[in-house]
Amino acid sequence: FLKKGMKFVFQIFILINITTFGQFNSNFNTLVWADEFSGNGMIDTSKWHHQTLLPNGSSWWNGEQQHYTNSITNSYQNNGLLSIVARKEIFTDQGVTKNYTSARLNSKFAFTYGRVEVRAKLPSGAGTWPAIWTLGKNITENGGYWYSSHGTTNWPACGEIDIMEHWGHNPNYIQSALHNTFSSGNTINHGGIMATDVANNFHLYAMEWTADEIKFSVDSVVFYVYSPQPKNIANWPYDQDQYLLLNIAMGSSWFSIDPFFSSSKMEIDYVRIYQEPITGINENINQLSIFPNPYRNNIHFILNSKYSFQSGKLISILGEHIANFNSIRDLNNFSWSSLNTGHYFLNLENSISYRTYKIVKL
């Protein structure tokens, strides 16, 4: 997505025997971050950042022709779905006038290794370029969520993982790709698959990332595996944190945008990231999910069933009483980033049970 002047050669990656790509990693069974889009209206800004700043002062990479905005007309949640909407409209921002608007979201969660699952229905129409992808947390791209705190490395050395790309002028073709200093832009690291009616049907787009390989799938059918040998800094920058991006670009320097409808949207049912459980920490005991755990800045709590608690206490490892909680809202609104590095115990109690959860601040 950052590659300038690139040209993709569309290629259907036909697999004779899909099972040769192996099985998924069953150890990725702990939910560490998710958005089910259960709210209404604006996106959850505790989880997502709108990236709107033009990176080169006048446009986005690839000659894309949209402005990304934080307007509710371009991204919103409703009825359990996130909608990212590309619109044909004249819009002036940062002193530049464009004929299209859209949205580009950065996750405020970054991770190394795990499985990403995104259930989505894609936009239609020539010129649309939706994507579900990741970038290295250390990327030096002004306007990105992580830039001010972690930006040290230029693209493509930071690494890019394209979980799903689709082009409206090539209906139902899904591509996954890797970009790094070994191969970027018109990268040789890509594979594709034909899916069924992606603009009208939801499909499960997934990526599974381990220290050895990265697998890509649609509806649990693995169609491409990236595992360069031998690995080096050029072909495998994928041993550091990446963050998730969701967006629809419009047009580029290498394909036409016309004709295009007045608007078209990508709908996302959920985003879920799983990792291996951390030894000694029971972070999901049926009733409550705590993710990520250990955490650095933000931590989230989700009740998984009808379980509720009447009172809760946060205790340090030395027995110091730090805070009281009366609801899941209290847990999520507490200033967890203000805690010192260390181990803590969360005690939750109702009329029939008493549970203790271990929380680690890094």
Q: Which residues pair with residue 228 across a beta bridge?
A: none
Q: Please state, in angstroms and rounded to a whole number, the distance separating the CA atoms of residues 11 and 189.
A: 12
Q: Taking Cα atoms as reference points, which of 41, 64, 36 lies closest to residue 51?
A: 64
Which residue carries 């069924």 as its tokens?
196
55 token code pair: 């990176």
From residue 299, how far is each of 82, 104, 128, 219, 245 by CA, in Å? 21, 23, 34, 29, 19
Q: Please state, in angstroms and rounded to a whole number, the distance separating the CA atoms of residues 106 and 139.
A: 12
Residue 63's SS3 state is helix
Q: How far apart are the first and last CA of the chain?
A: 32
Query: E-assigned strands of 180-319?
Result: 190-194, 203-209, 214-218, 221-226, 242-250, 263-275, 288-291, 300-303, 311-316
* Residues taking part in catalysis: 160, 165
Percent of the chain as helix, strand, coil, to the nearest 5: 5, 45, 50
Ranges of H-type helices in 6-90: none
64 token code pair: 């894309």
Dihedral angle, C-alpha 18, 22, 28, 32, nearest 10 °: -40
Give the pairing of strands 214-218 and 242-250: unpaired
Q: Which residues pair with residue 265 across a beta bridge?
A: 85
Q: Taking Cα atoms as reference points, which of 269, 251, 248 lies closest to residue 260?
A: 251
Residue 147's SS3 state is helix
Q: Which residues pair with residue 325 across a beta bridge?
A: 312
215 token code pair: 């697998």
